[in-house]
Amino acid sequence: MNGSSDPDDSGDGGGALEIGRYTRPFWSALSEGDFLVHECRDCNRAFFPPAPVCPHCGATEVEWVEASGEAELYSFTRQHTAPPGFDAPVLLGLVELAEGPRVLCAIEGEYGDLELGQAVELVATEYDEGFDRGDLSGEAFFAARPVHDRSE
Ligand SMILES: [Zn+2]
């Protein structure tokens, strides 16, 4: 379990959060139901996906912070050709976290029921069995789920 050399590119990740040493804390937290984003110590803005440099101001002092998981559906689409590990059709959405960053992920729900701007929450999910995720076998993935009664 030590000294692994992560492959730089596993092929057609296509915007997915890469699996590597840098993002390991994200996956570890997710397996416990927590969703981590990065926050810049300089401009105090949160961002995702995590990277060692703040995309807003270029500062390199960034740290992991736990997001609330609360989000709004910013955009969504239905894809009839599903990526490996998903059943077609798959609903994909861009959700805007309460903390600011927009995250691309699968949306759980019925296409016809989704509305732009509706409240969603990030949830830890699992891939279908039989899909080889390599290093992440058995670890959680994530999706967004509509929140039908958010009482504030
Ligand atoms: Zn910054």
Residue 51 lies in a domain: yes
42 Cα to the center of ligand 1, angstroms: 5
pLDDT band at 137 (very low <50, low <70, confident <90, very high): low
pLDDT band at 68 (very low <50, low <70, confident <90, very high): very high
Per-residue pLDDT at 131 exceeds 90: no
Per-residue pLDDT at 107 exceeds 90: yes
Q: Around Cβ 144, how many Cβ atoms within 10 Å? A: 28
Residue 118 lies in a domain: yes
Residue 89 lies in a domain: yes
Number of domains in the chain: 1
- Assess whether the previous peptide bond of 7 is cis (omega < 30° from 0): no
68 Cα to the center of ligand 1, angstroms: 20
Domain range enclosing 80: 24-146
Residue 19 lies in a domain: no
Per-residue pLDDT at 74 exceeds 80: yes
Residue 38 lies in a domain: yes
pLDDT of residue 4: 42
37 Cα to the center of ligand 1, angstroms: 13
Per-residue pLDDT reduced to its tens digit, 77-103: 999 998 777 788 999 999 999 999 999
Tokens, residue 101: 């960053």
Residue 136 lies in a domain: yes
Whether residue 54 contacts residue 40, with contact meaning beta carbons closer than 8 Å, is answered with yes
Strands (E), 80-137: 90-97, 102-107, 119-125
Residue 100 lies in a domain: yes
Residue 132 lies in a domain: yes
In a 13 Å sphere around the CA of 152, the CA atoms on its Cβ side amount to: 4
Q: What is the dihedral of CA 114, 81, 30, 19, to 10 degrees?
A: -150
